[in-house]
Amino acid sequence: PNLDAVPPVPAAAERTKRPLRIGYLGTGFPSKGLDGLVHAVRQQQPHQVRRDIHGNTVPYHGDMGFPLRVFGDLHAHDRIHYHGPYNAQQLPHILATVDVVAVPALWAETFGLTAREALAAGRPVLVSNIGGLQDAVRDGVDGMLLPPGDRAAWSEARSEERRGGEGGRSRW
């Protein structure tokens, strides 16, 4: 896909006029941390964050319990939208619709392809400080490294990005 065609992220001042659009791209397995991310978004005020989930949500080793726990009690006011699976040709369009991409993995991803694709498209990333993800991001420059599974830290990161970074200044 041509990731150079993705338009730039709006400036921090513009982003504070509407909900921060956070994208999650990938499979909804427990090890990917999607449940913690959904929890963190639900802690934000309704007008602050919109969460778009793109990817497969399939039974984990035949168990439908995880997807049901993640999505079963969502409501329209949660600002979380599940768009289903996508293909490589759709990636530029998806990245154009988000301000930041979250990769909240709970285990050591080897490479962190989703984070690297987002960075190639000029999107800042929020990633777990684990495995290959921590090598993909320059903390405070093109994203933030966050403790895996720390729901409070992930929720605070969203609040800080919403404000435009520390002290109201854009980090990215």
Please report, for residues 1, 33, 87, the alpha-carbon distance to residue 140 in angstroms, rounded to integers and kept in the order given: 27, 21, 30
H/E run at residue 30: none
36 neighbors 149 (Cβ within 8 angstroms): yes
Average pLDDT value for residue range 1-11 = 75
**Position 80 pLDDT exceeds 70:** yes
Does the pTM of the predicted model rise above 0.95? no
Q: Which of 154, 99, 106 is nearest to 144 (CA)?
A: 154
Average pLDDT value for residue range 103-118 = 93
pLDDT tens per residue across span 153-164: 988 886 665 445
Q: What is the largest CA-CA distance in the chain?
A: 46
Band (pLDDT 50/70/90 cuts) for residue 16 is: low
pLDDT tens per residue across span 115-152: 999 999 999 999 999 999 999 999 999 999 999 999 88
